[in-house]
Structure 1
Amino acid sequence: MERETMKFRDEEGNVVELEAVARVYVEEQEYLILAPLDENSEDEFVFRVDKDSEGKEELNAVEDDVEFLKVKKEYKNLLYGEVE
């Protein structure tokens, strides 16, 4: 199975390669969970998948705490089958 990877620039302008580890849906909104390819890192990032005016996917980092927690809960449910 082929990895879905994406490249981003961090705050310092360094290129960071992230792998898509899950697609999660909350209230009909799609989110993408991305993790660094560095296996020593446990960081994961949440991006909302929006559509631009031409219908192309556009990734926007989730910065709202409430939205982030909803996605985290759904991702945890996807992984472990837990419902709180």
Structure 2
Amino acid sequence: MEEKKIMSFKDEEGNKVDFEAIARIFLEKQEYLLLSPLDNNEEESDIFAFRIDKNEDGNEELNLVEDDKEFEAVKKEYKKLLY
């Protein structure tokens, strides 16, 4: 059985929020990470897409995908992995 990868972030109020890494997607030379909240006050199907960018120091930085067209492309690629 594969071990869950858990990532923790702070929300706007400074509260710790845990997410499970669902998938890593590669799309047109760009890498994305799909995360789902563990303490799910939201609906179970909530998945957040983050683009993995490199900052000036060469370190990975997660940026929430807010563009609808980009999000739909990532979601479509994820569905291909499921089926």
TM-score normalized by structure 2?
0.85
Gaps of 5+ in 2: none
Aligned position for 2:44: 41
Aligned position for 1:55: 58
Structure 1 residue 18: Cα displacement:
0.3
Q: What is the total number of aligned residue pairs between the two structures?
A: 80
Percent same amino acid among aligned pairs? 60
Structure 1 residue 11: Cα displacement:
3.2
Instruction: Compare 12-21 and 53-62 and name the one that shifted more.
Output: 12-21
Gaps of 5+ in 1: none
TM-score normalized by structure 1?
0.84
Q: How far apart, in 2, do the equivalents of 1:55 and 1:4 lie?
A: 23
Q: Does 1:76 align with 2:79?
A: yes
